[in-house]
Amino acid sequence: MNTDCDYSSAYVSLCTNTDLVGHGMTFTIGRGNDIVCMAIKEVAARLVGKDTEELFADMGKTWDWLVADPQLRWIGPEKGVIHIATGAVNNAVWDLFARTRQKPLWKLIVDMSPEEIVRSTTFRYITDALTPAEALDILKSNDSGKKEREQTVKQVGYPAYVTSAGWLGYSDEKIATLTKEAISHGFNHFKMKVGADQADDLRRGRLIRSLIDDPSLLPSGTKARDPNSAELKGKNAGPTGAVLMIDANQVWDVEEAVEYVRGLQEIKPWFIEEPTAPDDIFGHANIRRYLAPYGIGVATGEHAHNRIVFKQLFQAEAIDVCQIDSCRLAGVSEVLSVLLMAKKYGVPVCPHAGGVGLCEYVIHLSLIDYIAISGSMERNVLEYVDHLHEHFLYPCSINDKGRYNVPTNPLEGYSIEMHKSSIAEFSWPAGSYWMSAKEKGQVPQ
């Protein structure tokens, strides 16, 4: 589905009358990025002349202001280009806020009182699923354990999984090498792409399973995990405690999805990700219902364009795993509303990542979820791809147990600031990379 990707970023810097600058971005996969940049300029213009402390004092109200331009609203509302542009801008405001307080973004939020977090969250159109009073109860019930959880996650890291081994089109040799490499780095959740050819998917799936289920490949000193432990129960873990997930990137109709995935039962996936159109809530609910007897769950969210879609996915019991995206949702204030709903509906949040900057963003969101909202990271896994981190001033990192390290630099805000040199090189169309490609006649149409 997502062929010929040219990983791109629509990037925004909000300048103030001091040295402080807030950075935000949203991810795209190539053409269309400049359309998002135009939309960002329109949305960000609403902030010009505002007092930053007034914006920070009520981040829920600030979010409402960003989405309230009546003419821009017409080209949404709250979906598509205008919404991901709002995501970039809202994230930049949050980045600025965190920098003024000299805390990483996650720390800024977990240090807030339950009342402040509720005030920072957008509730419009979701109060039939979650009221501010219910959100406050959730946050208050977890408030006393925040310090302890913060210490724990700083010590052990946040659980992650890898996608890089299972891309379509890789040779068996490359799949085997990348899978073994991921095992040696301590990962025990692995994802592969499916949907182009069932026989090919089965062959690749058998290969990956044969490696991740092999105790002799575990890193020295690592023991097999119990597939029936609380962490792994219901995930179809193999004898070493390894879990396989599959991702179709929306290729099927509903019945086709059920048929196809049933045919992959042998490779024991925990869930099928994005089996069908991202807007089809009942479709996902039906797929989940028909796959349940086969022990295969349903996950989606990277293309769920706002909190209302997530609300309906929860209400329709359509998903086993909630995969928020940090910049398809319109920034942190909308993400908070989905994290709180997921907690109420008992669905674990395993954020989407991998593209430019997404891994940098999402570790903050998973930390907020664990420390302040769900209180658990036992069954969660955060997507990780070792790709493009070198463009960021504060790149994310993984420890030797295959878990995300906690960002701790007080100056990093939301960790999304890019190196000036990367921006100069890769800005479209005048960056040095594109200019030299043009000279060689290699600029894509």
| Residues recognised as catalytic | 193, 352
The least distance separating Mg ion from the CB of residue 222, rounded to whole angstroms, comes to: 27
* Closest of 362, 298, 311 to residue 130, by C-alpha: 311
The least distance separating Mg ion from the CB of residue 129, rounded to whole angstroms, comes to: 24
Residue partners of 398: CB distance under 8 A and separation at least 6: 157, 160, 185, 384, 386, 404, 405
Whichever of 99 and 352 has its CB closer to Mg ion, that residue is: 352
Which residues inside 144-163 make contact with Mg ion, applying CB under 5 A? none
First-last CA distance in the chain = 19
Whichever of 7 and 65 has its CB closer to Mg ion, that residue is: 7
Burial of 400 (0-12, 13-18, 19+ CB in 10 A): exposed
Which residues inside 229-248 make contact with Mg ion, applying CB under 5 A? 247
Number of residues that bind Mg ion (CB under 5 A): 1
The least distance separating Mg ion from the CB of residue 166, rounded to whole angstroms, comes to: 11
Alpha-carbon distance of 227 to 209, in angstroms, equals 14
Which residues inside 258-287 make contact with Mg ion, applying CB under 5 A? none
Q: Does 383 bind Mg ion (CB under 5 A)?
A: no
Alpha-carbon distance of 195 to 425, in angstroms, equals 36
Residue whose Cβ sits closest to Mg ion: 247
Whichever of 94 and 161 has its CB closer to Mg ion, that residue is: 161
Whichever of 82 and 248 has its CB closer to Mg ion, that residue is: 248
The least distance separating Mg ion from the CB of residue 274, rounded to whole angstroms, comes to: 5
The least distance separating Mg ion from the CB of residue 249, rounded to whole angstroms, comes to: 6
Which residues inside 394-433 make contact with Mg ion, applying CB under 5 A? none
Alpha-carbon distance of 425 to 103, in angstroms, equals 30
Alpha-carbon distance of 396 to 386, in angstroms, equals 9
Q: Are strands 297-300 and 269-273 parallel, antiparallel or unpaired?
A: parallel
Cα–Cα separations (whole angstroms), residue 98 to 14, 56, 79, 372, 412: 13, 10, 26, 17, 8
Which residues inside 167-226 make contact with Mg ion, applying CB under 5 A? none
Whichever of 122 and 323 has its CB closer to Mg ion, that residue is: 323
Whichever of 96 and 257 has its CB closer to Mg ion, that residue is: 257
Count of CB atoms within 10 A of residue 52's CB?
18
Whichever of 241 and 278 has its CB closer to Mg ion, that residue is: 278
Burial of 46 (0-12, 13-18, 19+ CB in 10 A): middle
The least distance separating Mg ion from the CB of residue 315, rounded to whole angstroms, comes to: 23
The least distance separating Mg ion from the CB of residue 322, rounded to whole angstroms, comes to: 13
Residue partners of 118: CB distance under 8 A and separation at least 6: 60, 132, 135, 136, 139
The least distance separating Mg ion from the CB of residue 425, rounded to whole angstroms, comes to: 28
Whichever of 248 and 267 has its CB closer to Mg ion, that residue is: 248
Contact 337, 307 (CB under 8 A): yes
Residue partners of 252: CB distance under 8 A and separation at least 6: 195, 260, 275, 276
The least distance separating Mg ion from the CB of residue 85, rounded to whole angstroms, comes to: 22
Residues at the contact surface with Mg ion, assessed by CB under 5 A: 247
